[in-house]
Every structure is written in structure tokens, then in C-alpha cells.
Amino acid sequence: MSNRQPVHLEMKGGKSNRQRMWEAIRANAAGFTAYTVTHRASADETTVRSYLQSLLRGNYLEVIEGQRLSEQTLRLVNDCGAEAPAVTREGKPSTAGKGTEAMWRTLRILGELDADELAAQASIAVPTTRATAKAYLKWLARAGYVTLVSPSKPGLLARYRLANGKNTGPRPPMIQRIGQVFDPNLGQVVYCQAPEEDE
């Protein structure tokens, strides 16, 4: 079970905990401790330890000295760039969110499409179903990111177009389980579902 907060609660200054931790690591690449990262990233100690362990297992970091993680001095050995690595607890690349990234990228490129076209294009990067694409378009429509070009009819899916001014950046708007849409490009919740709205 994850103890992570909804992303809009862990974002500070438009950056997630993970991104702030990664930036603290890169700023002290030659040698740092969990304490250094905790304070520079303004992050929870448990969250920092968990991410550092994932990065160690994924061979992004190495131990310079010390036995226990809380006392170890670490060094960055695999700097993969400015974007924080998305890794699982085992240090493997995480595929979480990759489908949403692929759908958002497709929408930004094509501009207008239906759920089948969205699923087919996104599936080039990550397997994506029509149902997933339909759900994503529905939430984007609620949040005003896409406009309905033509409604669905028997044998035809609804077509959507990216709304003017809604290409907010490369990071995909995220649909949160609590019934809201969070845009990491803006660092804010852009839509909250009213209690009486259906799923």
C-alpha cells in the first residue's frame, strides 16, 4: 500500500516531492545524506528514504560510506537528466502514468480525434484500450481541455478537439481517484467533480 499523498498535496512550487528530491540529489551529486535531501527538498523523511532506496536498487546512486541508510553518504552515479527517474521500489522503471502521457502527447499532436484513434496512437508507446481513451477524453471534456466536435452516434464514436489555450505543456493532466483533474504543468487542480455528478 502506498503512503503517498495525492499529487496536488505533495506539489510545492509546481514540483512533486520526487522532483524536488532529485534536484537536491543532483545539486549535491558528489556526496549527500538522506538528511541533506530531506531538508533541501522539504520532504518527509520516510518518503526520502523510500526514494533513495529505489534509486540505490536501480543503480542511480552508490554508497560512499556508512551502513544504515539514515547515516550513509551517497553519490549520484547515473544522472539521467533534469526529470526525476520514475522507479518502482525495486528500482525498475515505472510504467505508471505512461499511458496517460502517451494519450496527452497524441492529443497535442493530432488536435482532433475519437477514442479509437487516441487508443491506437497511444498504443504505439503503451498498450491503451478504447475504454481507457474514452474515460480520459470524458474527464478532459469535463475540465474544459477538449471540446466535443461531434457526438457519438450508432457506429460512430464522439470526436473531440483540443480546446484553444488548453495545450498547457508536456505533462499530462492527471485524473485523480478523488474525482478531480490536476494539471502538473500549472501545478494546480483544474476541475473538481461535484458530489452529485456520476462517474
Which amino acid is residue 146, in one-letter code?
Answer: V
Q: Tell me: do 162 and 123 sit in the same domain.
A: yes
Kindly state whether residue 186 falls inside one of the protein's structural domains: no
Q: For 13-35, write each residue's pLDDT tens digit.
A: 557 788 899 999 999 999 999 99
pLDDT of residue 1 exceeding 80: no
Final residue in a domain of this structure, among 76, 108, 126: 76
Using the 8-state DSSP alphabet, how is residue 6 labeled?
P
Kindly state whether residue 141 falls inside one of the protein's structural domains: yes
Kindly state whether residue 143 falls inside one of the protein's structural domains: yes
Kindly state whether residue 85 falls inside one of the protein's structural domains: no
Q: Tell me: do 148 and 108 sit in the same domain.
A: yes
Q: What percent of the chain has pLDDT over 70?
A: 89
Q: Tell me: do 66 and 121 sit in the same domain.
A: no
Q: Count up the domains in the chain and report the number.
A: 2
Kindly state whether residue 158 falls inside one of the protein's structural domains: yes
Q: Tell me: do 48 and 111 sit in the same domain.
A: no
Kindly state whether residue 189 falls inside one of the protein's structural domains: no
Q: For 136-191, write each residue's pLDDT tens digit.
A: 999 999 999 999 999 999 999 999 999 999 999 998 998 887 888 999 888 888 99
pLDDT reported for residue 196: 57
Q: Tell me: do 64 and 112 sit in the same domain.
A: no
pLDDT reported for residue 137: 97
Q: Which helix (H) or strand (E) holds 54?
A: helix 45-57
**Neighbouring C-beta atoms of residue 143, cutoff 10 Å:** 21
Q: For 67-113, write each residue's pLDDT tens digit.
A: 898 899 999 999 998 888 888 889 888 777 788 999 999 999 999 99
Give the Cα-Cα-Cα angle 82, 87, 88 (nearest 5 degrees).
Answer: 165
Kindly state whether residue 152 falls inside one of the protein's structural domains: yes
Q: The domain that contains 37 carries what CATH number?
A: 1.10.10.10
Could you tell me the residue range of the domain that residue 35 belongs to? Answer: 7-76
Final residue in a domain of this structure, among 21, 45, 76: 76
Kindly state whether residue 190 falls inside one of the protein's structural domains: no
